[in-house]
């Protein structure tokens, strides 16, 4: 975010130019802790930037009717993110990774800052085309990981082995399955080998920005588990 970058740059500039030595102890989204008595002039210059960031991060942008929790094989936070991201493209399906969703969202007000906690990365949305064999690799990857966030299809497995999968709508061409994901995963992150050397079509939207935009357009978020992945064990 531009204001955050300006704030951090300003802070570093003043700390470096000051004759007193300051050591940075820690940094979070809007706060940087310094372990020495800071010059009052420096603090007075930093504070407006910090206040502006805090005001923006504290803005309530939606309300969650339920707790949106992380989990496997299916999660409400995973369903929330993958379902909404699909609305911004003409892709057939979407896949993300549990590791990329950094927190849960509890019932109640959703702030802009909470979405930054959920998705602190600058990952962009991209679409790739997979043939049927590579998509089968994606499905088996999800099973091997005992569940990852996805949308647009269903999986049924028994003893962690695939029984069948089906799409939520009829595909025009099963050898051109349009998969929405993040550029990090599209480049092989989290060992998603099935995306290797596939052409990426940029959506022009960050994952985090899609979530924020969706929340701002929907005053109440209602997401439940819908058994999009069922793993039966004997």
Domain 62-232 belongs in CATH node 3.90.780.10: yes
Which tokens is 34 given? 């310094």
Instruction: Give CA separation, 92 vs 66, 110, 123, 214, 230, in Å.
Output: 27, 28, 20, 19, 20
d(CA 17, CA 13): 6
Question: What local confidence, expressed as pLDDT, does residue 152 receive?
Answer: 98
Question: What local confidence, expressed as pLDDT, does residue 142 receive?
Answer: 98
Question: pTM of the full predicted structure?
Answer: 0.81
d(CA 31, CA 49): 10
Answer whether the bond into residue 73 is a cis peptide, omega within 30°.
yes
Domain boundaries, the chain: 2-57, 62-232
d(CA 220, CA 37): 44
Question: What local confidence, expressed as pLDDT, does residue 37 receive?
Answer: 56
Please say whether the beta carbons of 119 and 207 come within 8 A: yes
Question: What local confidence, expressed as pLDDT, does residue 78 receive?
Answer: 98
Question: What local confidence, expressed as pLDDT, does residue 202 receive?
Answer: 97
Question: What local confidence, expressed as pLDDT, does residue 207 receive?
Answer: 98
**At 105, phi and psi to the nearest 5?**
-120, 120
Question: What local confidence, expressed as pLDDT, does residue 27 receive?
Answer: 41
Question: What local confidence, expressed as pLDDT, does residue 98 receive?
Answer: 96
> First vs last Cα of the chain: how many Å apart?
50
Tell me the pLDDT of the chain (234 aa) as tens digits: 444 443 444 444 444 344 444 343 444 554 545 445 557 788 888 888 888 889 999 999 999 999 999 999 999 999 999 999 999 999 999 999 999 999 999 999 999 999 999 999 999 999 999 999 999 999 999 999 999 999 999 999 999 899 999 999 999 898 999 999 999 999 999 999 999 999 999 999 999 999 999 999 999 999 999 999 999 987
8-state DSSP, 196? T
């Amino acid at each position: 975010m531009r204001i955050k970058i300006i704030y951090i740059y300003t802070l570093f500039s003043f700390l470096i130019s000051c004759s007193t030595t300051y050591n940075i102890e820690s940094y979070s989204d809007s706060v940087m802790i310094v372990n020495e008595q800071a010059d009052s002039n420096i603090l007075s210059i930093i504070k407006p930037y910090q206040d502006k960031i805090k005001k923006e991060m504290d803005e309530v942008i939606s309300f969650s009717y339920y707790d949106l929790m992380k989990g496997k094989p299916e999660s409400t936070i995973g369903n929330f993110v993958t379902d909404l991201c699909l609305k911004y493209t003409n892709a057939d399906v979407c896949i993300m990774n549990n590791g990329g969703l950094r927190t849960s969202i509890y019932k109640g007000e959703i702030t802009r800052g909470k979405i930054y906690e959920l998705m602190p990365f600058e990952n962009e949305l991209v679409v790739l085309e997979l043939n049927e064999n590579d998509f089968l690799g994606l499905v088996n990857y999800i099973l091997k990981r005992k569940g990852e966030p996805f949308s647009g299809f269903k999986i049924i497995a028994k003893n962690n082995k695939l029984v069948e999968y089906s799409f939520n709508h009829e595909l025009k061409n099963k050898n051109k399955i349009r998969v929405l994901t993040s550029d990090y995963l599209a480049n092989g992150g989290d060992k998603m080998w099935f995306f290797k050397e596939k052409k990426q079509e940029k959506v022009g939207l960050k994952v985090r920005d899609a979530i924020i935009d969706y929340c701002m357009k929907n005053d109440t978020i209602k997401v439940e588990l819908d058994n999009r992945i069922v793993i039966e064990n004997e």
